[in-house]
């Protein structure tokens, strides 16, 4: 990991168009690779961010291309912190059914937050009715070896 002492933040804003997820992935992976982060960590972060951005586009902004999804990526020597904000109606994570409950095991939806929480070290979701939702996910990085 070759990140300088001070954290670096990268920002990207995309319209709520599903095809833009490819742009988000390329932006994220390029900046993580530039910081010298290991491929297996990049993979976990990329999967998590794809889930978060997909939820922001589909659920938060209801696929409205006039509404934006904003992403901040902050990379330090200790961690990668991602914030994704939509312009939707807000979100209550407590309202999501447990994807491991027997009645939900065969459902095709409802696993995104579960996946993100297992790939990242910390996840917080702040939904404000009528103001959108911000998801913050952090992945701790292993100490640099000299």
CATH of the domain at 88: 3.30.565.10
120 strand-pairing partners: none
In a domain, 35, yes or no: yes
Say if residue 19's pLDDT is above 60. Answer: yes
Q: Is residue 122 part of a domain?
A: yes
| Residue 60 lies in domain | 8-140
* Per-residue pLDDT reduced to its tens digit, 43-62: 999 999 999 999 999 989 99
Counting the structural domains of the chain, the total is 1
Residue 74 lies in a domain: yes
Say whether pLDDT at 135 is over 60: yes
CA distance 52 to 49: 5
Query: Is residue 101 pLDDT above 90, yes or no?
Result: no
């Amino acid at each position: 990991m070759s990140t300088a002492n001070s954290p670096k933040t990268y920002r990207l804003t995309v319209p709520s168009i599903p095809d833009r997820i490819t742009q988000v992935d390329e932006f994220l992976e390029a900046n993580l690779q530039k910081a010298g982060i290991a491929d297996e960590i990049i993979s976990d972060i990329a999967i998590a961010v794809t889930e978060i951005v997909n939820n922001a586009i589909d659920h938060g902004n209801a696929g409205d291309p006039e509404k934006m999804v904003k992403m901040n990526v902050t990379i330090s020597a200790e961690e990668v912190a991602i914030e994704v904000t939509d312009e939707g109606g807000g979100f209550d994570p407590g309202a999501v059914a447990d994807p491991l409950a027997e009645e939900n095991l065969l459902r095709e939806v409802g696993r995104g937050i579960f996946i993100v929480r297992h790939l990242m070290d910390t996840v917080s979701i702040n939904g404000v009715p009528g103001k959108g939702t911000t998801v913050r996910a952090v992945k701790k990085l292993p100490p640099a070896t000299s």
